[in-house]
Structure 1
Amino acid sequence: MEKVTKVKMLALALLLGLGLQSCSEDEAPAPENEEEVIDKVVLTFTPDGGGNPIAVTALDPDGEGSSPFETSDITLSASTNYTLGVEFFNTATDENITEEVSAEGEEHMTFYGWTEGLFSDPTGNGNIDVRDDDVNYLDYDSNSLPVGLSTTWKTGEAASGDFRLVLKHQPGLKTATSTVEVGETDVDLTFNLIIE
């Protein structure tokens, strides 16, 4: 009788030990390099040589819900040089995500695409479809790869079309050849662009 009790106690101790061990193994580690939560994007086109900046805001009314971003039209002057600054925000936490994207430049890249003919510099239709296509980046990470929070543009003649930007999160994946298909998408926005 005493031997059976000892065996039962040993079996119980063994099961408890395995149970505790499996609980600690099942606990998920703290997530690293999560994609940013962005529900507001501000594009500011500043004309070279003075003039009023043109700011356009895109808002996601339900944050991470199913509703898409609501975008406004961008209206620029023909044959004009602009510097574009892009800012990203999480309004729920009152956080400027732009600072995080800049600080983690080695993990982020903004790709641009547009209707061909809208710009005389850069020409073409952007680097969303082909990574090596021209975009005039002004900001780079510590590996001399573009981040895309600041760019320059020269508009063409009067026209209209699409202007798209895609912010990618590419931790450990960003290279000189990584495309828009690599990593997680933080933001993908398409604006109607009017040049007059």
Structure 2
Amino acid sequence: MLKLKHATYALLATALFYASCSSKSEQAVAPTIANEQLTSAYLKLTNEANPSDTTSCRYRFHLDNNGNVKSTDSTALVLKANSKYDVKVLMLDTTQSPTFVVSDEIKQRQNYHLFFFQPTPISSANLVIGTGSPYIPGTPTSASGPYLNLAIARTDLDSNTPPLQIGLTDLFTTGAASTGNLRFVLRHQPNAKNGTYAPGSTDLDVNFKVTIQ
């Protein structure tokens, strides 16, 4: 299970990662799944109209010798306008040799994991919340725009009865040129997953800059 201990990771438009602590004694501790550290999270995208057109973005945690986060960095996501992209989520533990693929572990535990993706700025008309929606309740909306013209749908299912979405594979659909941010969240929902955001707790919560051009 990915777990954030002693701190909550806050989303910032600058795409930097901060730990929100209530006292000086609290420290940001790297997310873990079982005994594995999560050090890198990637979104890898392939343009459906041109398979040779690929792109990605990465969020990386730099750890000290005790496994605590000492800094982070991220790359921006640049997409073509009016396009469809097949997306794969890749999560790694680079502290191991060879590198451990954490997303494979999440696949094995798919029945209690659910990914969410939140483009912002977004209009209230496009922020559709409910079972099967990848969007996050409580996200602020903009009345006048300009908006980030990015729509997201998950494309994989777990083995629950009935099957529920996971989000390890997705479809990103872009509209006109625009800029904004993409919030990327993994929810941990053991024995509670029902296709919505509310059950369980947050395992991972990071942010990417997005440009559609």
Please report the TM-score for the alignment, with normalisation by the length of structure 2. Answer: 0.65
What is aligned with 1:165?
184
What is aligned with 1:145?
164
Structure 2 gap ranges (5+): 1-32, 129-133, 140-150
Between structures 1 and 2, the one with greater strand share: 2
| RMSD across aligned positions (CA) | 2.6
What is aligned with 1:185?
202
- CA distance in 2 between partners of 1:117 and 1:67 (Å): 32
- CA distance in 2 between partners of 1:69 and 1:168 (Å): 21
Deviation at 1:130, TM superposition (A): 6.3
What is aligned with 1:56?
57
Specify whether residues 157 and 117 from structure 1 end up closer, same or farther in structure 2 by C-alpha distance, changes over 3 A only: farther
Deviations 1:104-138, CA, capped at 9 Å, x for gaps: 100111011011459xxxx447511269xx84111
Q: Which amino acid aligns with 1:75?
A: V
Q: Which amino acid aligns with 1:55?
A: S
Q: Which amino acid aligns with 1:189?
A: V
Question: Alignment length, in residue pairs?
Answer: 156
Q: Give yes or no for contact 1:116–1:124 (8 Å, CA) kept in 2.
A: no
Secondary structure class of the residue paired with 2:57: strand
Specify whether residues 69 and 187 from structure 1 end up closer, same or farther in structure 2 by C-alpha distance, changes over 3 A only: farther
Deviations 1:21-69, CA, capped at 9 Å, x for gaps: xxxxxxxxxxxx8596311011111100223210222110117524453
Q: Which amino acid aligns with 1:129?
A: P
Q: Give yes or no for contact 1:38–1:187 (8 Å, CA) kept in 2.
A: no
Deviation at 1:102, TM superposition (A): 0.8
Q: Which amino acid aligns with 2:102?
A: I
1:47 matched to 2:52? The reply is no
Higher radius of gyration, 1 or 2: 1
Between structures 1 and 2, the one with greater helix share: 1
Specify whether residues 86 and 105 from structure 1 end up closer, same or farther in structure 2 by C-alpha distance, changes over 3 A only: same
Structure 1 gap ranges (5+): 1-32
- CA distance in 2 between partners of 1:84 and 1:183 (Å): 25
Specify whether residues 115 and 35 from structure 1 end up closer, same or farther in structure 2 by C-alpha distance, changes over 3 A only: farther
Percent identical pairs in the alignment equals: 24
Q: Which amino acid aligns with 1:74?
A: L
Secondary structure class of the residue paired with 2:104: helix
Q: Give yes or no for contact 1:69–1:189 (8 Å, CA) kept in 2.
A: no
- CA distance in 1 between partners of 2:119 and 2:107 (Å): 24
1:1-196 matches, cutoff 5 A: 34=34, 37-50=37-50, 51-62=52-63, 64-67=67-70, 69-93=72-96, 94-116=99-121, 123-124=126-127, 127-129=135-137, 135-143=152-160, 144-177=163-196, 179=197, 181-196=198-213
Secondary structure class of the residue paired with 2:62: coil
